[in-house]
Structure 1
Amino acid sequence: MRRIKTPHKWHSIFWELIQTKNMVNCLTCLLGADVRLHGSKLNLKSAHDGSAVEWHQDWAFYPHSNDHVLAVGLMLDDMTMDNGPLMLVPGSHRVEKVWDHHQDGHFCGAISPSLNQDLDFDSAVPCIGKAGDCSFHHVRLVHGSAQNVSKDSRRLMLYECAAADAWPYFRFSDLEEFNSRMIAGRPTVEPRATNVPVRMPFPPAKKQGSIYESQTMLTDRFFK
């Protein structure tokens, strides 16, 4: 098993974690008083062979009306250089660009390293820490992670959070459920639209289900 989708729906502890006082304080400082949970996932990298995740921007998967959107990474295990830590390309979120995440005309959820030489992957910084530590990264920050080659498993709980006035461009159908994901403040039916770069993830990936499946279509892989 590589991922559990929307764990906040399956056990209350995952919903309670994102609503703790310290977490809410951090989120409101970064996103404003009104914050909504966009989604959650628990990534599991088993010992010795936990899967790599190729370079990508979260923004390529779920563009919104504005980019007050980020991801929180809560380390459930120590994250070391050997167990496939999150790797972040510093400053890539400041470039007002969505790099191409397509292969052979279809979305694949990954950036080709040879076709995007304006990205300095060698400058990537590892996000290492102890269990219980958190990271926060902007939705356009380029990131990925290598295979887990250690003897220890590595679990990372990820929350996708957005300002309440950042509305997703697609995959929205239930306003009541949408509003039930408010972490702080109040919901709104007045999206704030700003001039942000958007590249829609269409035509959809030939292999659906998860980022792991979609990225198998990439022929030019960085993490071997």
Structure 2
Amino acid sequence: MLSAREIEQYRETGWLVVENVLDREALSQARQVIAEFVAGAANVTRHDHIYDLEPSHRPEAPRVRRIKTPHTNHPLFWKIARLPNLVGMLEQLLGPSGVRLHGSKINLKAPEFGSPVEWHQDWAFYPHTNDDILAVGVMLDDMLPENGPLMVMSGSHKGPTYDHHLDGFFSGAIDPAKIDLDLSKAEALVAPAGSVSFHHVRLVHGSAQNTSQRSRQLLLYEYAAADAWPLMGVSDFANFNERLVSGAPSIVPRLADVPVRMPLPPSPHQGSIYENQTAARNRYFKIREVA
């Protein structure tokens, strides 16, 4: 369980890192499954319901930047999403109504070419009736300053919802020249493999390209309080309830006074965040061309 001090840190900064959540056996299993997924990308030539590919991907040299919804594509990741110690911490942070898994993904940054992610707030992608929502980053590799760790702007979850649009369309990225944050003061969430990070849904964050010789594999889960309902609607009510990892189904959402911008109209490059952000003109994180 989290200490009162850890909970207070999360409330104040919008993020928290906890070490030794995933044991060595689970880490090994997750890495092996991911390796099998990446090998399978040799048969894929374009983004699909499982793979988001690096621009330099080739069948003879598979390069994957994201594995989509892993909790639906392999039972191991649904199992990890429901680990009792993880769920217990989530209940402390998200409140008494229960906890629902909103979504999942695995962002992969292979040595020397792993793609960056521009500054953004997850809230811009999926606003809800309240903001008791967070992302959990399960660190499957050591997160180091040089391999593109998650970078966060402490306290930004208490501020506005920034504009993530370009030319009237949702782009999934914040223009760094148009916000009142000193991004040079961002903090890198570095920790050993097996650690997890928690970051609030409104926290401004991003990550640089991996320029090191070491991989960076991050399993990401998005969780919401059970009484937080997505403003874009619920298309499958049965599945909505099946994703509860604690608490009971309810049809009474909790409404909070939170700043919302809808992700509409959708991006001309609608897809993963990587595809949405291809429209961004003013990038903060540099992209080094790779062979």
Q: TM-score, normalised by structure 2?
A: 0.75
Runs of 4 or more off by more than 4 Å in structure 1?
none
CA distance in 1, matches of 2:189, 2:233: 30
CA distance in 1, matches of 2:199, 2:212: 25
* Paired AA for residue 106 in structure 1: F
Whichever of the two has the greater Rg, that structure is 2
Residues 46-105 of structure 1 show CA distances to partners (whole Å, capped at 9, x for unaligned) of 11010000000000000000001000000011110110000000000011x110001111
1:73 to 137, 160, 163: 137
- Give unmatched runs, 5+ long, in structure 2: 1-63, 287-291
CA distance in 2, matches of 1:59, 1:194: 14
Q: Which residue of 1 aligns with 2:289?
A: none
**Is the counterpart of residue 131 in structure 1 residue 193 in structure 2?**
yes
Matches within 5 A, 1:98-109: 98-109=161-172
Q: TM-score, normalised by structure 1?
A: 0.97
**Is the counterpart of residue 63 in structure 1 residue 127 in structure 2?**
yes
Q: Which residue of 2 aligns with 1:93?
A: 157
CA distance in 1, matches of 2:87, 2:256: 24
CA distance in 1, matches of 2:190, 2:234: 34
* Paired AA for residue 276 in structure 2: S
CA distance in 2, matches of 1:174, 1:104: 32
Residues 150-203 of structure 1 show CA distances to partners (whole Å, capped at 9, x for unaligned) of 111110000000001100011521110100000111121111111111000111
* Paired AA for residue 111 in structure 2: A
Higher relative contact order (CA 8 A, sep 6+): 1
- Give unmatched runs, 5+ long, in structure 1: none
**Is the counterpart of residue 187 in structure 1 residue 249 in structure 2?**
yes
CA RMSD, Structure 1 to Structure 2 (Å): 0.8
Q: Percent identity over the alignment?
A: 59
Q: Secondary structure of 1:136's match? A: strand
* Paired AA for residue 58 in structure 1: D
Q: What is the aligned residue count?
A: 222
